[in-house]
Copies of this chain bind each other. A is one copy, B any other.
Amino acid sequence: MAENEILESIRGRIIVSCQGTADTGNPFHTPEHMLLMARSAYKGGACGFRANTPPNILAIKEAYPQLPMIGIWKIVEGDNEVYITPHMSAVDTLVSLGCEIVALDGTDRKNARGQYAWQFLGEAKKKYPKQLIMADIATLKEAELCAKQGADILSTTMCGYTEESKQFKGVCNFQLLKDIKEKVPGVFLICEGKIWSVEDAREAFESGADAIVIGTAITNPMSITQRFVDLAAKVK
């Protein structure tokens, strides 16, 4: 598919992120488990996937070669906080796996090499001009910076996880979607993160999201349980 066709195939639709990690104690974390999650998402009508690490991406891509894959590779480098596809060899690998979309940290933070994440994103786009590049950002400024670097997709993934956006921890920042839609109108906009209910999803679309990525609320039964358990503890 051409880049534009890929974007049109996900417009107005739901992408499911399949990203269990053993680190968190999540019983669902192997490539086989992630494939079962992807199968469930596919049967439920998802238009594509987001997955982390080559083994998980491969397992899903093999089963669903026709569906767009947003590939990421979380790599923690020392105590640096930029960890979503943070260096070129990770980008090279994701491109070589055939990911229709490669997502990178696009925040205004320096990576382990002292380079701003959005700057490195620009380098990746220059190296792979035909590859759809998705910028995981947290603020309007970062969205603007990444758009200038050639990002094809802006995504609110990091909102709530950076120093500047920490007030949005656990809640979806719908205003950020509206701001990006208004100030960076030409770039495909994805709402990712903190979508828990259909009401949230509706608000995200109404705030300007061209597509929505949902992960935890669909593919992480441990975290979903935890959320209900926390509520029960509060009520009683």
Contact = CB atoms under 8 A, between A and B. Distances in A.
Interface of A: 11-14, 16, 25-28, 33, 36-37, 39-41, 43-46, 195-199, 201-202, 205-206, 212, 214, 217-232, 235-236
Given A205-B236, A235-B202, A229 B13 contact: yes
A212 B197 contact: no
Contacts of A236: 11-13, 205
Nearest to A235: B205
A131 to B, nearest CB: 26
Q: Is the interface of A mostly helix, strand, loop or mixed?
A: helix
Contacts of A225: 14, 16, 40-41, 43-46, 214, 218
Which of A14, A33, A219, A221 gathers the greatest number of chain B CB atoms within 10 Å? Answer: A221
Contact of A206 (B39, B219, B235): B235
Given A25-B43, A44-B228, A205-B232, 7 more contacts: A14-B228, A14-B229, A27-B40, A44-B225, A44-B226, A45-B226, A198-B227
B13 A27 contact: no
A195 B232 CA distance: 13
A228 B201 contact: yes
Nearest to A223: B44
Contacts of A197: 196-197, 199
Contact of A224 (B25, B27, B44): B44
A32 to B, nearest CB: 10
A214 B235 contact: no
A232 B14 contact: yes
